[in-house]
Amino acid sequence: MKRYAARGLGTLLFLCAALAALTVSALAAEQPPCDGSHGEGWTALTLDYLANNSYTLPMGNYYLAEDIDHGKQIEIDSKTINLCLNGHYYESTTDDGIFRVGTGGVLNICDCKGGGKIWTTEYQNPVLLHDGGACNLYGGTLQSTRSAMVIGDSKDRGVAGGTFTMYGGTVQSTASSNYQGIKVNTNLTDTAVYIYGGTISTGSGAVTLKGSPSISGGTADIYLNGATIVPEGTLSGSVSVKMETPGVFTGADKSSYLTNFTSADPDYIVQ
């Protein structure tokens, strides 16, 4: 009999996979904003363009025309930005989010050529959502040596977080421990993560759940391939999980949270 831990409602959510990536089966996803043509209505994004515009992006459609590496932060508030990585990389050494998406802001990321990524080899987060910002990932990779997708500033605890929806692509933390592919900070309101496809990976091999965020997608809220689930504190709601291999809850206090989890496979139970 297989034991399953379920998807995590957690205000502090660490969505990661094991050394093998955590992969979520895709549902019918919305169409990405780019069809690969980059014709009328699309702007070539270069380092010169950013410098000439004081590292701000007006509302619109952009595609990377070259690899970009700089030390600035891009703020996205009260506008929608469609960004096609176009097979290139975007790197920055700025702290607390290379792209920061706040109130009324939406960042849609796709990659029509493949191999594109927003990344850092230092200690930055490719995307940080705060105060109700939203990000939709259709393709490309968000990669960091820390957490790749972060919802909520540590200095903004108690305010609205944001919404991350993943239709494809990869969210990856290369850290060996303590960091996540997707991290949702504590004490946030209006916060949700929806996973409909793509790959989430990290080196820590654990999904840590705390509180009650919203995550959904596929036939299970979280699909695990060799990872473990680590509940912290009090959980609320009911979440569903599916595992590639049998798993079991451990710990003396497991009875306090066991009822919050259900198995997505009717042949198995949470135990």
Q: Name residue, tokens 């209505």.
A: 41
pLDDT at 17: 30
Burial of 55 (0-12, 13-18, 19+ CB in 10 A): middle
For the chain, the average pLDDT equals 74
What's the pLDDT at 209?
A: 58
In one letter, which amino acid is 215? I
Question: Can you give the pLDDT at residue 113?
Answer: 95
Nearest to 25 by CA among 224, 218, 225, 239: 218
Is the sign of the CA dihedral 91, 93, 97, 101 positive or negative? negative
Q: How far is CA 250 from CA 93, 203, 241, in A?
A: 39, 21, 16
Q: 235-238 — which CB contacts under 8 Å span 24+ positions? A: 235/8, 235/9, 235/10, 235/209, 235/210, 235/211, 235/260, 236/9, 236/211, 236/212, 236/260, 237/9, 237/212, 238/6, 238/262
User: Per-residue confidence at 224, pLDDT binned at 50, 70, 90?
Assistant: low
Give the residue with greater pLDDT, 18 vs 34.
Answer: 34
Tell me the range of 173-177, 219-223, 237-241 where mean pLDDT is highest: 173-177
Mean pLDDT for the stretch of residues 146-168: 79
Lowest average pLDDT, out of 164-168, 177-181, 206-210, goes to 206-210
29 pLDDT band (50/70/90 cuts)? very low
Per-residue model confidence (pLDDT) at position 166: 85
pLDDT band at residue 96 using 50, 70 and 90 as cut-offs: confident
Residue 106, phi then psi, degrees to nearest 5: -135, 130
| 58 C-beta neighbours (distance < 10 Å), count | 9
Lookup result for tokens 């991350």: 164
Work out the pLDDT band at 27, boundaries 50, 70, 90. very low
Mean pLDDT of 169-181: 77
Render pLDDT for 51-68 as a digit per residue (tens, 0 to 9): 999 999 999 999 999 999
Of 98-107, 131-140, 187-196, least confident by mean pLDDT is: 187-196
What is the per-residue pLDDT across 66-87, written as a single tens digit (0 to 9) for each?
A: 999 998 999 999 999 999 999 9
What integer pLDDT is reported at residue 86 of this predicted model?
A: 97
